[in-house]
Structure 1
Amino acid sequence: MSVQDFMTKDVVTVTSTTPIFDAIDLMKKHDIHRLPVIDNGKLSGLITEGTIAEATPSKATSLSVYEMNYLLNKTTVGDVMVKHVKTTTPDALLEDAIYEMRENNINVLPVCDGTQLVGIITNNDIFDAFLRITGYNAGGTRITLQITDDHTGVLAAITSLLAEKNYSIATIVVNPMELSTIIELQIESRSTDELQQVFEKAGYTVLSAVLTNNH
């Protein structure tokens, strides 16, 4: 899985000379919380709701409404943007992007191919990726198996068993634990009880077998 498979490609941007009020209007119009700043075709910064809030005079200020509006009208994106922006590349592993975001406590990474901005990936894109990987949006049956004797060929045996019974697998998630391995399968069938019996008869420990709905 690479960043380009999950990033937002249609990116709304501003320039460093864009007035703050215009940037705010763009965020509201597109229901987004941050905007990459592009100057001369290159990424030069990032502006977020947080950086705008920090630049806005507080209610405790002694400035009048007129003075505050005058000040904000003169403020541009370049005055308050984050200039040292962490980025990623479209062919980077999704896991690397997640790690970068976690390590730097940030919710967004602009995606650059060389000097050109080609997308943006946010925490919401990561959530969507997780839902897709786990097959959450696909209807069918979620089977959770506990494998205490993990060895080469376990997945092959499971897939062969399902193929023999003419069941189609939507997704497989393997979660290695300390004393066992948990395997979750999203199967394109609503025959939950039958599927549980298939695995139990084959000697597998079924932790759960639940019906999932399309979302």
Structure 2
Amino acid sequence: MSIANFMSQDLITVTPATKIFDCIDLMKEHQLHRLPVVANHETGAQQLVGLITEGVIQAALPSSATSLSVFEANYLLNKTTVAEIMLTEVTTVAPNAQLEDGIYLMRQQDIGVLPVVAEKQLVGIITNNDIFDAFLNISGYFQGGLTVSLIVNEDQPGVLAKLTALFAAAKISISTIMVLRQKTTIVEVRLQTQAAEKVSSLLKDQGFNIQSITVAPKIA
């Protein structure tokens, strides 16, 4: 799955000339924690030039130890523009990059957001919440049915083929298959059925080692 499948495209942006007070209002209104900063290119494209975040704004606020009055502090903030405090070194990702590439970048850079850029134009943004939503989607969480976890003691070619053939013969549809390889290999299969006893019998008859079988309702 690519970044383009899960990025947000309905973007709220600001320009370098935007006042910080206006950024704060936008963040509150749209419940956002960061805003891409764009400059209109001569071609009409929105070119990413920076990023403004809650943390950056907080760092720019006058300290509580300052001798400035509230009126004076507010006056300074109202005069301050995005260009004066925005982050200019912004890690980005391409829309055709794999989702896991984006996750790796976020982990490596210890950041919670990646602007998505194609040919220098801002086309989207992907955040931690988008990653969580992507995992729920890919794992088939909302489809309900049975979640079967199998322990594979001898990980070898053909295990998944045998498993899918077994369910196909029983006319049981598979929603998703995920494989976790650690000290032991765990195969988790989501099935479009709630017949736990039938599935358990099928798997045991074929020698599969069942770790768990859970029934989950479909989530609208």
Give the TM-score range, shorter chain.
Answer: over 0.9
Secondary structure at the counterpart of residue 114 of structure 2: strand
CA distance, structure 2, for counterparts of residue 15 and residue 150 of structure 1: 54
How far did residue 9 of structure 1 move?
Answer: 1.1
Deviations 1:104-127 (A, max 9, x none): 110001000111100001111111
> Partner amino acid for 1:197?
S
CA distance, structure 2, for counterparts of residue 64 and residue 26 of structure 1: 25
How far did residue 129 of structure 1 move?
Answer: 1.1
Matched, 1:123 2:128: yes
Q: Which runs of 4+ in 1 moved over 4 A?
A: none
Secondary structure at the counterpart of residue 141 of structure 2: coil
CA distance, structure 1, for counterparts of residue 144 and residue 69 of structure 2: 57
In structure 1, which of residues 196, 205, 209 is the aligned counterpart of residue 209 of structure 2? 205
CA distance, structure 1, for counterparts of residue 66 and residue 215 of structure 2: 57
> Partner amino acid for 1:153?
G
Secondary structure at the counterpart of residue 142 of structure 2: coil
- Once the two structures are superposed, the pairs formed by residues 15-30 of structure 1 within 5 Å of their partners are 15-30=15-30
- Once the two structures are superposed, the pairs formed by residues 96-111 of structure 1 within 5 Å of their partners are 96-111=101-116
CA distance, structure 2, for counterparts of residue 18 and residue 192 of structure 1: 58
Secondary structure at the counterpart of residue 86 of structure 1: coil
Matched, 1:93 2:98: yes
With the length of structure 1 as denominator, give the TM-score of the two structures.
0.97
CA-atom RMSD in angstroms: 1.0
CA distance, structure 2, for counterparts of residue 7 and residue 100 of structure 1: 15
CA distance, structure 2, for counterparts of residue 198 and residue 208 of structure 1: 14
Q: Percent identity?
A: 50
- Paired residues of 1:111 and 1:119 also in contact (CA < 8 A): yes
CA distance, structure 2, for counterparts of residue 92 and residue 22 of structure 1: 33
- Paired residues of 1:193 and 1:209 also in contact (CA < 8 A): no
CA distance, structure 1, for counterparts of residue 196 and residue 63 of structure 2: 57
In structure 1, which of residues 40, 43, 47 is the aligned counterpart of residue 52 of structure 2? 47
Give the unaligned 5+ runs of structure 2: 41-45
- Once the two structures are superposed, the pairs formed by residues 43-192 of structure 1 within 5 Å of their partners are 43-178=48-183, 180-192=184-196
- Paired residues of 1:4 and 1:90 also in contact (CA < 8 A): yes
How far did residue 62 of structure 1 move?
Answer: 1.1
State the number of aligned residues: 214
CA distance, structure 2, for counterparts of residue 207 and residue 12 of structure 1: 46
Deviations 1:138-166 (A, max 9, x none): 11010000111111111111000001111
Deviations 1:79-128 (A, max 9, x none): 11100100000001111111111111100010001111000011111111
CA distance, structure 2, for counterparts of residue 213 and residue 23 of structure 1: 41
How far did residue 214 of structure 1 move?
Answer: 2.3
Residue 37 of structure 2: aligned partner: 37
CA distance, structure 2, for counterparts of residue 49 and residue 213 of structure 1: 38
Give the unaligned 5+ runs of structure 1: none
Residue 6 of structure 1: aligned partner: 6
Question: Bigger shift: 189-198 or 107-116?
Answer: 189-198
CA distance, structure 2, for counterparts of residue 85 and residue 202 of structure 1: 53
How far did residue 201 of structure 1 move?
Answer: 1.4
